[in-house]
Each structure stands twice: as structure tokens, then as C-alpha cells.
Chains A and B, each alone.
Chain A
Amino acid sequence: MRVILRRLGVYAFTAWVTITVNFILPRLMPGNPFDQIAAKLTGVVTAQELQAIKIQLGGDINQPMIEQYWHYLNQLAHFNLGVSITLSSPVSTILAGQIWWTVGLIGVAAVLSFLIGTVLGVVFGWMRGSRADNVIPVATFLQSVPYYFLGTVLIMAFASHWHFFPLENAYDLSITPGWHWDFISSLLRHSELPILSIVLSSLAGWMLGMRNMMVTIAGEDFVLMAVAKGLPRRRVIWHAARSAILPSIANFTLAIGLLVSGSLLVEQIFNYPGVGNLILEAVGGEDYPLIQGIFLLITFTVLGASFLADILYYVLDPRIRTATAH
């Protein structure tokens, strides 16, 4: 349990660093973005909201820094992320509306690619030395293809040649959203291609990592012992795979950051609603409150996912789990 608490401490600290960076960055930059924004916003938002944005962006330079900081934290604690300049509504409301698209898309894609990649890695690791090794160069190439490029290629293939998949949006905009089959099937159809691009780009990484680990673990005595015990092949592979999966989970923190970053662009390519699409609009419109809000949201989501991976690791590795128990 101590291990988990320690990790939690690290993530809490990271969250604090992220928040603080968010606070300091605008204040570090030359010039003052606030003045431009204030000009744009006068009359659009209430004075109180303006004040919140001001704090966030370092506009209220009359207050001492520490007080600004305190105020900023206070606002955050109440989920007050300011008001979007381009969309003229509270950032927290906008994000609440968009986050589920992103979490849904990336979540499903990440789980799929992890599962498929891991299983393939186990199989190819076990079949090392057979013709299946030819998959390595292909996978290495696939692993190196940027997510957004793969998305583009898929669009190109399916737009100009085969019309299998819808290429834009999360659902057919002529259908009213709701709990009925038309909408749900449209939703699924529209997510196929984005999910395919994310899965294809991230799959190879899991697969190659898992293959390497399988080959390594297959060299351990206990796997040979499993054979010596006359266990069927399936069980021998399971002995090895169970240990080999741990490094994959340990690398999850690193991988999830790359995956989320890549997926944000996939949203953009497929014009899929969600945070990724939003961040680019926000950058285009110099919508600082929105940019900051999104940054915090993404970082916290990644931290949350990493923490889940840590818990999973803890559950799966008895050496850590029992380290303090006995």
C-alpha cells in the first residue's frame, strides 16, 4: 500500500506543478496578453468573469504575486477556469461538454490497441525464429508513422477510392442525438476510422515491446520448468506472458502521454468533436483561458490514467504487493 501512496504523492505533486506552470507561464512571457483580451472581451462577459480571466492571465498586476496565486488556486478549486474568449462561455462548461468525446474515443482506442498489441506480441514472441519475424520491420515502420499522417492516409484511401467509412464528425448530423439505434449506429460508424488510425499507430509499440519481453522471459528457468512439467503449450505461454506484461504496464505512463497527444490530432483530422479539436481552435483564436483549461484537463487525465496503470501494476506484481505485508 505504501507504494501506491507514494505514487499518489508523485502525481499530486505533478498536478501541483502543472497548475503552477499554468499560473506562471503567462507572467513570464514578455508583454501582457491580458490587455488585448480585456479589450476584446469588454461587454461580452460580466465584470466578475473578467476578473477571473484577469487573475488567470496575470492581468491584475497590482496585487502581490502570492495573492494572485492564492486567488488562482481558489478559483480552480471551484472549477472556475475562466471564460472562453472565442466561445463566450465558461471554459469548464465547454470542457464538460467535450471531454466525453475524447475520453470515449481515446479510451476505446487505447484499450483496443493495448489488448491487440499485447496478444500479438505474446504470439510473435513465442514464434520467434519462424517466418512470423518478418512482421518486425513492418511493425517498426507502422510504429514510426505519425498518428495524424496515418489518419490522413486512411481518409485519402477511403475518400477517393472506397466509400466504406464516414470521414467526418462523430455522427450523422442529420440525426438527432438520443438513445435510439439510428444514432448509436451512426456514432459507431463514425468512430471506426478514427479508432482505426489510433489503434494502428499505437498497436505496433505495444506489440514490439511485448515481443521483446516474451523472448526475454522465455529464457527464464521457470518457463523451461513449465515445459519440463509437461504442461500444454497454452499454459507454458501463459506462464511467460503473465510476467512479460508487467513492463508494458510500467511503461504506460510514457505511452499514454504519447497516445493522447497523437490522438488529439486524429480528432482534428477527422473533424471529430473533443478536446483535441478544441485546443487547435483555441490556439487559432488565441483563446488563452481555453488553452489553459484544456492543458490542465489533458494533463490531469493523463495523470489519472497513469495512476490507474500503477494500481494495476501493483495488483499484478506480487513482489511489490507483498513487499510490505510480510
Chain B
Amino acid sequence: MRSLQIPKSPKVISGVVILGVFIVLTVIGPWIAPYSPNTNRFSTSQMPSWHHLLGTTLLGQDVFSQLLVGCRETMVVGFVAGFIATVLSIVVGLAAGYIGGKTDEGLSLLSNVFLAIPGLPLMIVINSYLPPGKQANPLVIGVVISLTGWAWGARVLRAQTMSLRDRDFVEAARIIGESRRRIMFGEIGPNLLPVLASSLLFTILYAVGLFTTLAFLGLTPLSTWNWGTMLYWSNTQNAAIAGQWWWVGPPGIAIALVGTSLALINFGIDEFINPRLRAGGLSARQRRKVGMSRRPHLGFTPVRRVSATKPTGSN
């Protein structure tokens, strides 16, 4: 088994740092917010200042406080939906890939169906049938999102399981008579970890995106705050046309940053899964450090006569 060392590239590190900041804000955001997000006693539509780091809305609310408070709901829904969906995709993907046969066909069909039905329209339809006035609580929405978002992960995990199923170490476990469940979770599971992690990241990304979109459409409760509802209010009150960038910008950028951090971490996982993304991948800066002016071109091996400092292995 390979060691689970994710390459520590600058990309991965910055991804982890950004995500870490948002996770911290998820916990402490509502506590450190200077004002209540609902208070509308400030002068309206102010540019950012020391009193209001991100200015105020048309209704005289503090944007910075809304951003801090809204972080929690956005992240919690995204992560909850991401985790549930990943659990579903593990169950479906592992079962389909490992058991094979009719089970596989049935489950694959199911994944294909869920993969093909676009999530947002489906969520809109489901949402529209909820009894009037009884908009679902954000967590329920998160659960529904997870039901629409597991299929991709299941497909990737199935493929990976199938390729692992026939490898030697699994074969060996089967021969010494380990139970099917032991093999599935004990032998195949750990080897699926990188694929699983990558699928988890994408599902969280998907869930955050879908949830904030629904909120942007005003389809989540407007009584609580998340980044999507912030965009909903700024949109309904034409903040963009009015040029109120301090109101429109922060929630959108925050959503994009969370997405970016997840994608950056995924680069590391990709490099782990696929060594070609890493081998020979000398960045422009590393190259300058060792004094190579030109990046190696495929099929034109560089010649560097550095006989003065003979590297190890030459004795």
C-alpha cells in the first residue's frame, strides 16, 4: 500500500490555509461579528469604512457582519450535504464495483439517472411543492442536495473499486478466506482513499454551489443568513446597477474562495493519484533555482555539464 503522502505543493498549502480560515470562521463567525446582521439602524449604502469594514446595504445593515454570520450556514450545509452524498456514493460505488453482475447494472443505471437529471431544476421543482409558508430548513435542503449529488462520486469509486478488485492483494485476501465485508472495507477501502477524498471535495463544492444558488433565488428561508441570501438581497435591490460593489462582491468572492480552496487541495490529490502530473513537473521558479533557463521540452533532453559538483551515486 502506498503511503498517503499528499504532495506539499504551494497550491495544496494555500488551499488548506484558505479552507482553514473559512472553517474557523464557520465556528467563530457569528461570535466575532461586530453587529447583528439584521440591524438596519446604520446609514444606508455606505462605502467601506472603519466602522463598517465592508460598508452597509441599502437597508442600512452591516455587510461585514452578514458575511461573518452567513459563513456558518453556507459551510455547514455544504459540508453536511457533501458528507452525506459521499457516504451514499461509497455505498453505491463500492457495492457496484465489488459485487458486480446484476447489482452493478442496477446501481450503475441508478447513478446514470441521477447524473443526467440536472440538480438545480430538480431542486426548484421539489422546493416549489413544499407547502406554502413552510420553507424547508437549510439542513433539510442540504440533505435533499446530497440526494442529487452522490452519483458522480459513485461512478468514480465504482471504476476504482473494479480496478482494485482484481489486484493481487485483494486476491490474496480472498484466498485466505477473508469475508467479503472485510475485503471491501479493510483492503479496498484504504486504497480508495485518494479517490474518495477527491470526490468528497467535489461534492462539497457542488453542494455549496447549489445551496447558495437556491438561496440566491430566494428559495431558502430568508430569516437566516448565508452568502446566497446576501446575494439575493443585493440582487433584488439592484445593488449591481447602483455600483455597490462592497455589497455585491464579498459574498460572491467568499463562495468562489471556498470553491478555489477545495479545488486547490484537489490538485494535490490529483498529483498523488496520477504521478505524471508530478514527475518532472518542475515549476518555473524551482527551475531558475537550479539554474535552468529553459523548461525541458519533450524529446529534447537538456544537456547540462556540471561536472564540478558531481551528484551522489557517482563516487
Interface residues on B, range: 35 or more
Question: Could you say which residues of chain B place their CB within 8 Å of the CB of A216?
Answer: 274, 276-277
B281 beta carbon closer than 8 Å to chain A = yes
Q: Is the CB of B284 within 8 A of A133?
A: yes
- Docked Cα-Cα span, A280 to B214, in Å, equals 11
Q: Is the CB of A26 within 8 A of B129?
A: yes
- Docked Cα-Cα span, A161 to B121, in Å, equals 34
B47 beta carbon closer than 8 Å to chain A = no
- Docked Cα-Cα span, A299 to B125, in Å, equals 12
Question: Could you say which residues of chain B place their CB within 8 Å of the CB of A257?
Answer: 115-119
Count of inter-chain pairs, beta carbons less than 8 A = 189
Q: Is the CB of A129 within 8 A of B112?
A: no
A47 beta carbon closer than 8 Å to chain B = no
Q: Is the CB of A264 within 8 A of B113?
A: no
B66 beta carbon closer than 8 Å to chain A = no
Question: Could you say which residues of chain A place their CB within 8 Å of the CB of B132?
Answer: 286
Question: Could you say which residues of chain A place their CB within 8 Å of the CB of B128?
Answer: 283, 286, 288, 291
Chain A at the B interface: mostly helix, strand, loop or mixed? helix
Question: Could you say which residues of chain B place their CB within 8 Å of the CB of A11?
Answer: 116
Count of chain A residues with Cβ under 8 Å from any Cβ of B?
72
Q: How far does the Cβ of B286 sit from chain A's closest Cβ, in whole Å?
A: 9
B107 beta carbon closer than 8 Å to chain A = no
Q: Which residue of B lies closest to A16 (CB)?
A: B113
- Docked Cα-Cα span, A129 to B295, in Å, equals 6
Q: Is the CB of B252 within 8 A of A152?
A: yes
Question: Could you say which residues of chain A place their CB within 8 Å of the CB of B130?
Answer: 29
Q: Is the CB of A140 within 8 A of B264?
A: yes
Q: Is the CB of B240 within 8 A of A30?
A: no
**Residue of A21, A149, A218 with most partner-chain B CB within 10 A:** A149
Indicate with 1 or 0, residue by residue over B254-285, a CB within 8 angstroms of chain A CB atoms.
01111110111001001000101101111110
**Residue of A28, A145, A306 with most partner-chain B CB within 10 A:** A145
- Docked Cα-Cα span, A6 to B162, in Å, equals 20
- Docked Cα-Cα span, A212 to B248, in Å, equals 33
Task: Known contacts A129-B281, A140-B260, A265-B216; decide if A13 and B129 are in contact (CB<8 Å).
Answer: no
Chain B residues 72 to 128 lying within 8 A of chain A, measured CB to CB, are 109, 112-113, 115-122, 124-128
* B residues neighboring A (CB under 8 Å): 11, 14, 109, 112-113, 115-122, 124-132, 152, 205, 209, 212-213, 216-217, 219, 231, 234-235, 240-243, 245, 248-249, 252, 255-260, 262-264, 267, 270, 274, 276-277, 279-284, 287, 295-296, 298-300
Question: Can you identify 12 A-B contacts, CB atoms within 8 angstroms?
Answer: A10-B116, A11-B116, A130-B284, A136-B11, A137-B264, A143-B263, A216-B277, A219-B276, A219-B279, A228-B299, A257-B119, A258-B118
